[in-house]
Amino acid sequence: MIGCGNMGGGMLRRWIASGVVAGGDVDVVNRADRSLPDGVRQARDLPDGPLPDIVILAMKPQQLDAIAARFASRLTGAGMLVSILAGVEEAALSARFDVAAIVRAMPNLPVAIGKGVVALDSASASATAKTLVEQLMQPLGLVEWVAPAQFDAVTALAGSGPAFLYRFIESLTLAGVAQGLDRDQAERLALATVEGAGLLAAAAEVAPGALAEQVASPGGSTRKGLDVLDADDALTLLLTRTIDAATRRNAEMAATART
């Protein structure tokens, strides 16, 4: 694993906790030591010896060229390269790394507790390689193969989505404070409400929109609140603009990585 920040570290910890990977089978290349699970080796350079079965790029996308300049030649012939770099397409990776297969993966932060989403895409991986990647990613949460043309949109929705949801929780908390609730209590209530509602929505046999209608009695307080959110499709338009902005930024980063 080259780079092991918040996302890479969360994935690694979950893999080891689930038993899909043993700490002693992992080498991490980091600019500085981090707190990592027992058995994981970390250094400033690639380990000596045979090529690894899987190389995972988990540094910042802006470091791609520097990492390729340092390590690409030494990784030539590796079996699989898995990249979690946002906005870096498979073609950009294959232009820098000569490996048997390249898989793009876009996880989100809840993978650290096995409740995340991992989007996958690969034009070069064999069916066997794809199965191997799926098995590796399954302990992290929902695993979905995505068409290349939709990868930026999926990155915006699922990859960036937790940040948007955290902002919603913060706003829900502040709305409670505006009605006189203590900040800490309002935050506890907002977090528990979102957690429970999400779990129920995931288990329900009806769509989330239908669940909203079940909660809202005619003329009741929930209906009055929904009237505000639904007016002129305000909430849908706001989130559409939010996802669109993130999608366009992913496309811009992809264009930069092509050069």
According to DSSP, the β-strands at 80-83 and 54-57 are parallel
- Range 161-249 classified under CATH 2.30.30.790: no
Please name the residues in contact with 16: beta carbons below 8 A apart, sequence gap of 6 or more. Answer: 22, 23, 26, 37, 39, 40
What pTM, to 2 d.p., does this model score? 0.89
DSSP H or E segment with residue 243: helix 234-258
Q: Where in the chain is the domain with CATH 3.40.50.720?
A: 6-151
Collect the ranges in the chain with pLDDT lower than 70: none
**How confident is the model at residue 155, as a pLDDT?**
92
As its CATH architecture, domain 6-151 has 3-Layer(aba) Sandwich (3.40)
Please give the DSSP secondary-structure letter assigned to residue 67: H
Q: Where in the chain is the domain with CATH 1.10.3730.10?
A: 161-249
**How confident is the model at residue 49, as a pLDDT?**
86
| Cα separation, 131 vs 141, whole angstroms | 16
Neighbours of 36 (CB within 10 A): 19
Amino acid found at 244:
D
User: Do 134 and 120 contact (CB within 8 A), yes or no?
Assistant: yes
Q: What is the pLDDT of residues 194-243, one digit of tens each?
A: 999 999 999 999 999 999 999 999 999 999 999 999 999 999 999 999 99
**How confident is the model at residue 199, as a pLDDT?**
95
